[in-house]
Amino acid sequence: MDVDTLCGQLIVGGYADAEPSKEFVDAVQRGRRGGAVLFRRNLPTLEAAWKACTTLAQAAPAECPLWLCVDEEGGRVSRLPAPARRLPAMLALAAHADEALIEKAGACTGTQLRALGFNLDLAPVLDVHTREDNPVIGDRAFGRDAATVTRLGLAFWRGLKSAGIAGCGKHFPGHGDTSVDSHVGLPVIPWDMDRLEQLELVPFQAAVDAGIECLMSAHVVCDAIHAGVPGTLSPRIGMSLLRGELGFRGALLSDDLEMKAISEQRGIQEAAVMAVLAGCDAILVCSRHDWQEQAHNALVREARRSTAFRARCEEAVERTLAVRRAWPCRAEPTFAQAQAIIQSAEVTEVADQMARLAG
């Protein structure tokens, strides 16, 4: 793989409009994107979602299948438009503490995503909701204790898998006890390692042991591990802790490098290189094409300068391609077929049940 393609495969990009821009599709065709992450702005209708996934999947080189990613957690973090069924927030469903129920929720979500052509859900949230004034996690979590989050988070992941969708647990090493939203600032977790091992890390260790395909890094500083350095950019967290101590062998994705916890501390070029060195196998740059190009250029320069960095890029791309090939993005052949699945009695029944339980 030439260095331009190699470094391009590290980037999961987004775009600003309802349809993939020509420049974004061109980048996919040239192998300069390893995936696309879609948001509500990109999905005004179900048909638009199906068309975007189909267009992007077909544009990708055969040897470099895409990740087509979306944050579909339920509750306030839901991207699919009606008539797709949005599930309630997981904390509301978790009040019933029923693994079978949560697994059905995951399968319902996965079935809808699969029909449209997605192959990676950026879920489940494995953060433990221990701080009531947390501005970013809250009811996205499955519970307020590690055991509940572990049990129900993994149930949701199993449901996704049963529908043919890979999962991505987030946000490692934990975002549940922060008072700052990493979209707007840099959170700091003050706890020592004993506390982290007894609480925040428990669901992630269980997910690793269960074989979860992907995890997402958190833009949070854990002073006990690497003072002053956010997890996304810390090799002590992404390499030593996650891969060394927890034994993770899947793909690690960064959270969005456009978030202010990173972008206001580092430029996109420095952050891209640091994230890969820290253990991220793919970096998310979720809207700005110019920043995606800057990140790509920085990765290429470093790969040409350093054989060690190029080897790290090769390792990362090999790891992500293994996941992408195992979970290919295949939309239904026609939108009518996709819509029929999304509006099927099976999906409707489960979604209605979830809505009743959540009150």
Task: Note the pLDDT tens digit of each residue in 213-253.
Answer: 999 999 999 999 999 999 999 999 999 999 999 999 999 99
Quickly state the pLDDT bin for 285 (edges 50, 70, 90).
very high
Give me the numbers of helices (H) and strands (E) for the chain, helices first please: 16, 10
Task: Report the number of distinct structural domains present in the chain.
Answer: 1
Q: What is the pLDDT of residue 113?
A: 98
Q: What is the pLDDT of residue 256?
A: 96
Q: What is the pLDDT of residue 265?
A: 84
* Annotated catalytic residue within 4, 145, 181, 183: 183
Candidate from 178-192, 255-269, 326-340 with smallest mean pLDDT: 178-192
Q: Which domain holds residue 173?
A: 3-358
* Annotated catalytic residue within 127, 255, 256, 281: 255
Residue-wise pLDDT tens digits, 333-352: 999 999 999 999 999 999 99
Distance CA(111)–CA(141), nearest Å, equals 22
pLDDT above 90 coverage of the chain, percent: 92
Q: What is the pLDDT of residue 190?
A: 84
Average pLDDT score over residue span 252-280: 95
Distance CA(348)–CA(274), nearest Å, equals 44
Residue-wise pLDDT tens digits, 56-97: 999 999 999 999 999 999 999 999 999 999 999 999 999 987
Residue-wise pLDDT tens digits, 86-122: 999 999 999 987 999 999 999 999 999 999 999 999 9
Token representation of residue 15: 């775009």
Q: pLDDT at residue 182 above 90? A: no
DSSP line for 82-140:
TTSPPPPPHHHHHTT--HHHHHHHHHHHHHHHHHHT--EE---B------TT-SSSGGG
Is 71 an active-site residue? no
Decide: pTM greater than 0.75: yes
Is 183 an active-site residue? yes
The CATH number given to whatever domain includes residue 75 is 3.20.20.300
Distance CA(156)–CA(99), nearest Å, equals 8
Q: What is the pLDDT of residue 271?
A: 97
